Amino acid sequence: MFQRILFLCLFGSLGLATDGFAPPDASAELPEPVRQAEADRIAAIAKAMPSAVSVFVPGGAGGGSGVLISPDGFALTNFHVTSPAGEYMRCGLSDGNIYDAVIVGIDPVGDLAMIQLLGRNDFPVAEIGDSMAARPGDWCMAIGNPFLLATDLQPTVTWGILSGVGRYQYPSGTLLEYGDCLQTDASINPGNSGGPLYDVSGRLLGIIGRCSFEKRSRVNVGVGYAISIRQAQNFLGYLHSGRIVDHATLGATVSTDPDAGVVVTNILESSDAYRRGLRYGSEILEVDGRPVVTANELQNVLATIPAQWRIKIAFEQDGETVETLVRLSSVHQQDELLEKMQAALPPPPPRPAPEKAPNDRDAEPSDDEPSDAPEQPKQRDPHGHPHGSADAGSDIPPVAKQRIQRRRGFANGYFNQLETDRVVNQLIRQSPTGQVQAEDVWVITGQTDQPRPQDVQIRIAVDRTALIVGDDSAELTTASDRYDAIDSRDYSALLVALDSWRRILAEGPASFGETYFMGTMPLAGERPLRDCLLGMRSDTETRWLSHPETGALEVVEVFADRDTDPAELWLQYGDSQDENVPAVLDLRFGTDSVLRINVDSWTSAPDPKADAQSPAANASDDQKEDAS
């Protein structure tokens, strides 16, 4: 009786009917801000959904999600989503169509992969957001294929907030390190992996990859993680290269000192950071334009950067602030990375959890793991590809099969060849002397002010190169000469860089040596990211860095040893009649300029010595007639 009186008093005081609950007044309208918020949310979902991809592994071996980033079908997803598929998969969009797709490139450390959907050149794409500006409390949404529910090709939408930013997740097993990632309470489940995390306006913030579960029941507990779109953008050029790519390391260990910030506790003397002056006890202040005050923040930044990038760094040493450029090395050797990939466990098909069996009581999955947790490993070939559906070549449609090329160290050599051809053709179009034949000689004249005003003449021929600076001269004829010029930091290393440039134009990548598109990277720590072509010849490695928009070659780097500074030929263009002819040649080692030349003329002509020594020139008249 007392409870009934209390109930009547409470609801009576609230002005509610006590003789039964009346339905809401149908004529009452929601407040305008509520209706507008609902309309905005629906509009954002409608904007974002067409770019969301449902990934299915042929034969029912698994799947996940992805997101389209270009009209020609390139999409981002997780490495652990594509791993069971190998090179070929099927993808569905909310338009109700299913498309063939092939692997392009993979980043097994950062758990990123790029695929290409085939069949169109007008795919809907996601608008890229700014993950660096994201803050805890921002609204966000996940659109994907949890538990492969999107069999009708209509993805699932979940809504929530960003619970945190700049999270660091230690590697799962031997790979899959998540640095500087976004945390969200939007519901993330197996199958969401690889899918997009959008902001409140439907702009892409990140690629979903990991989440935390209640230990025994695999129940989502509202803690999911997404790779930031900033990190993905850093790796886009590397993923387009078709390679299996690695992350960067500074070559030093650090700790957080409460009084001194990020302090170096150990450093490799062979690292570029050491050559630039970083030492034990140095305090690191800024990396790649981002201030760091804890060891965790430093690791967060480095985890988002590809190997071999050259970035800006600021540190304090002996009371002085040093600002310089540091070339980052790879976390793994190439064979080590492939070996770890082969040992990585690919995920099972994401599906609803079955009724708990008695032996399920012993299962103890970790709290933090990829949202599609691995079960059974698959055998892999020496290239790092799993033996799966793609190995059954007859099951792959011809449109996909022709875009698959196996090559050691590459996820798909087909796409690397496309990018290599693109950059080489770009270099040829931007040649300072037009088309270059194998027997052509470059002759360059100019002046230098180092160490005093002097005339300069350079000759780059097939069999030898020569440089005259005032009364001094140098000549390189052998591979040993090339190596020694770089190793000794001699100004004659200019000849090595020019010779490599002429040879790639005259002979092409096939004759130059092993040549491939490496990816994109900053120039002197600055964006936009430059295209980087890499070629191996004799004992040296050459990199050509060109502007992504103009195609102009900006730097030629030649390495004799990864543990020493390369010779860097920087090219500056002026307002000359021929815009492809550099106005200045600047030879640098590290951050030091050793020879700067103002160019007067740059010509190319056949080498008369090569003509005289050729078999055709020495042949008899009868032989020449037969040859014709």
Residue 522, pLDDT above cutoff 80? yes
- Which whole number is the average pLDDT over 9-37? 62
pTM of the model: 0.85
**Which pLDDT value is given to residue 211?**
77
Cite the beta strand spans of 10-97 per DSSP E. Answer: 52-56, 63-68, 74-77, 88-92
For residue 26, pLDDT beyond 80: no
Rounded to whole angstroms, the Cα distance separating 338 from 410 reads: 10
Coil/strand/helix, residue 111: coil
Q: What is the pLDDT of residues 204-228, one digit of tens each?
A: 999 998 777 666 556 667 889 999 9
Neighbours of 71 (CB within 10 A): 12
Listing DSSP states for 504-551 in one string gives: HHHHHHHHHSEEEEEEEEEETTEEEEEEEEEEEETTEEEEEEE-TTT-
DSSP 138: -
Q: Note the pLDDT tens digit of each residue in 301-312.
A: 999 999 999 999
pLDDT digits (tens, 9 = 90+) for 383-392: 444 434 444 4
Ordered structural domains, the chain, with CATH: 47-240 (2.40.10.120), 248-330 (2.30.42.10), 416-610 (2.50.20)
Query: Largest alpha-carbon pair distance within the chain?
Result: 127
* Most confident by average pLDDT, 359-368, 536-545, 615-624: 536-545
pLDDT at position 493 = 95
**Pair 369, 210: CB distance under 8 Å:** yes
For 343-350, what is the mean pLDDT?
52
Lowest pLDDT segment from 11-25, 266-280, 540-554? 11-25
Angstrom distance (rounded) from CA 471 to CA 394: 68
